[in-house]
């Protein structure tokens, strides 16, 4: 037995209103269509579901049992429809983003503030990690999108370029004698260098640059936080490799200064990463749209 859902819907409204006429009005169909649908349902079960009374129709004992189940299904369907509408309008739902702590703090945070103001009903979940970890999060379905440094070459992923950044070496007052000097890469390595962890895209890029000049880059200190890179440089423990945009305040107030090199450091790019050929949730789509508009 495989009755059409429309038959149950007609049955539900006829039972709920106690009137074939009212059921027809609720469903925007004719009364004969209601009568025909109920007869089809009764014939399929081989049972009488309604009997007529002076006010309209009433459920038989068998009809009442069927109604107890159909009523629950209608409530669930209505709730599901309301939920879908809420998700479409972003009155509820969630947005799961992966990225590094530095990108969250220095790049994504203003967008999150605007997004939360526009869609306060959407819950935000931030998963921090290195680029390889964020790629794994995305492929495992733990996040909706990742914000990472490029390049990313993976046929399963789609990456939309979002922002260009410039990395640089910075130092604090302890190395004031280097201010205004132009250093070679060899000369730079006469001083203690502080780098981000080996799994970071920025670390890979600067290591490859030094290798292209036949130089092995061996940091004095490795850290897992951009804030530590900045603070250690300020305290005079070495020369840190950081993103210039992330230390703009320190460069402006003079607590850090940029080390000038005789070679150009290539810019890096930030991309918004999603799964290729997978539909985006409404919440993720709106966030990407917001990042492009602002």
In DSSP terms, 53 is beta-bridged to 56
Residue 27 φ/ψ, nearest 5 degrees: -100, 0
**Terminal CA-to-CA distance of the chain, rounded, Å?**
56
**Hey, do 5-88 and 94-161+271-293 end up sharing a CATH topology, with the first three levels equal?**
no
The Cα–Cα gap between 138 and 145 comes to 7
Output the CA torsion 282→283→285→286 (10° steps): 110
Q: What is the CATH number of domain 5-88?
A: 1.10.10.10
List the one residue out of 289, 286, 292, 283 whose CA is nearest residue 122. 283
The CATH fold of domain 167-266: D-Maltodextrin-Binding Protein; domain 2 (3.40.190)
Tens of pLDDT along the chain (294 residues) come to: 567 889 999 999 999 999 999 999 999 999 999 999 999 999 999 999 999 998 899 999 999 999 999 998 888 888 788 777 777 778 888 899 999 888 998 889 999 999 999 999 999 999 998 888 999 999 988 999 999 988 888 999 999 888 899 999 999 999 999 999 999 999 999 999 999 887 778 888 899 999 999 999 999 999 988 899 999 999 999 999 999 999 999 999 999 999 999 999 989 899 999 999 888 888 999 999 888 754
pTM over 0.75? The answer is no
Q: What is the CATH number of domain 94-161+271-293?
A: 3.40.190.10
Q: Show me where the domains of the chain are located.
A: 5-88, 94-161+271-293, 167-266
Q: What residues have CB less than 8 Å from 112, skipping those under 6 apart?
A: 124
Q: Are strands 260-261 and 157-165 parallel, antiparallel or unpaired?
A: unpaired
Tokens 């004719």, residue located: 30
DSSP 191: S
């Amino acid at each position: 037995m495989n009755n059409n859902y429309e038959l149950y819907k007609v049955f539900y409204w006829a039972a709920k209103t106690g009137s074939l006429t009212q059921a027809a009005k609720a469903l925007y169909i004719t009364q004969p269509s209601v009568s025909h649908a109920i007869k089809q349902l009764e014939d399929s079960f081989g049972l009488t579901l309604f009997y007529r009374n002076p006010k309209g129709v009433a459920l038989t004992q068998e009809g009442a049992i069927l109604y107890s189940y159909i009523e629950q299904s209608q409530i669930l369907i209505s709730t599901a429809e309301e939920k879908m509408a809420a998700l479409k309008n972003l009155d509820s739902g969630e947005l799961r983003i992966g990225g590094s702590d530095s990108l969250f703090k220095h790049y994504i945070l203003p967008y999150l503030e605007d997004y939360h103001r526009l869609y306060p009903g959407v819950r935000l979940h931030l998963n921090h990690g290195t680029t390889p970890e964020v790629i794994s999060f995305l492929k495992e379905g733990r996040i909706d999108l990742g914000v990472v440094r490029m390049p990313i070459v993976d046929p399963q992923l789609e990456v939309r370029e979002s922002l260009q950044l410039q990395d640089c070496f910075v130092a604090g007052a302890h190395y004031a004698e280097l201010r205004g000097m132009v250093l070679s890469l060899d000369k730079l390595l006469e001083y203690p260098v502080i780098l981000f962890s080996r799994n970071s895209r920025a670390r890979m890029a600067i290591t490859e640059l030094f290798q292209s000049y036949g130089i092995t880059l061996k940091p004095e200190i490795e850290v897992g936080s951009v804030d530590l890179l900045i603070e250690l440089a300020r305290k005079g423990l070495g020369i840190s490799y950081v993103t210039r945009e992330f230390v703009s305040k320190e460069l402006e107030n003079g607590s850090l200064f940029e080390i000038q090199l005789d070679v150009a450091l290539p810019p890096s790019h930030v991309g918004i990463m999603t799964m290729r050929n997978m539909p985006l949730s409404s919440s993720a789509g709106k966030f990407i749209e917001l990042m492009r508009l602002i």
